[in-house]
Every structure is written in structure tokens, then in C-alpha cells.
Amino acid sequence: MELVLKMSEKMVRMSFTLPPSLRSDLDYLSARLGVTKSSLVSDILNTSLSDLRSLVEMVPDNPTEADMVRASGKSNEIIAERLRSYRKLEGDLFDDRDL
């Protein structure tokens, strides 16, 4: 897993509550990938929140149907780009071509 956060970026400490199943998933994935839970959550949220924020920012407070169609098109672009980037991964933990 490639972390996209800049190491020079100042981090802040946060506290939040999660369901036990998410905690278990974080424990497993962080151990399996050899990264801290903080790094894993930061990486997941960094890309996901950035995409979501860009979509929400483009929709006005009182959107018209045309605004919603435009947002839908943009979300399709984001999903397609994410899929393209995942398809480029080779030889990583999730590459099952050798199985």
C-alpha cells in the first residue's frame, strides 16, 4: 500500500468512536500490511474525502436537476479514474494472477 500523505505535513490527533467490526478490520489490515492504524486510516480518508469534497463543492446549496446530472458525471469520472489506478497495481498483496 502506498501512502500518499506528505511526511512533512503536520499531523493532528483526533478521537472518534467506531463499531467493533471496523476496529477489528483496522487491526487486521494494519498488521497484515505492516503499517500503523493511523497511517492506514489517513491514507484511506485522504483519497476518499478529497473525492467526496470535490463532488460536494461543485453542487450548489439548492441544486437544479442539471446540477445533479453534472455531479453524477463527475462522480463517474472519479470512479473510473480510481478503477484505472487499481488496475495498474501489479505484484501487490491483492494481485491474484499467479494463483
pLDDT in tens, 21-30: 999 999 999 9
Residue 66: predicted pLDDT: 86
Share of the chain above pLDDT 90, in %: 24
Q: Cell numbers at residue 81, please?
A: 479514474
* C-alpha dihedral, 65 to 66 to 68 to 73, nearest 10°: 140
Three-state SS at 31: helix
Question: Of 70, 23, 83, whose CA–CA distance to 31 is shortest?
Answer: 23
Tell me the average pLDDT across 11-20: 91
- Of 48 and 35, the structure prediction assigns the larger pLDDT to 35
Q: What is the pTM of this model?
A: 0.58
What CA–CA distance (Å, rounded) separates 99 from 95?
Answer: 9
One-letter identity of residue 14: M
Residue 29 has a pLDDT of 93
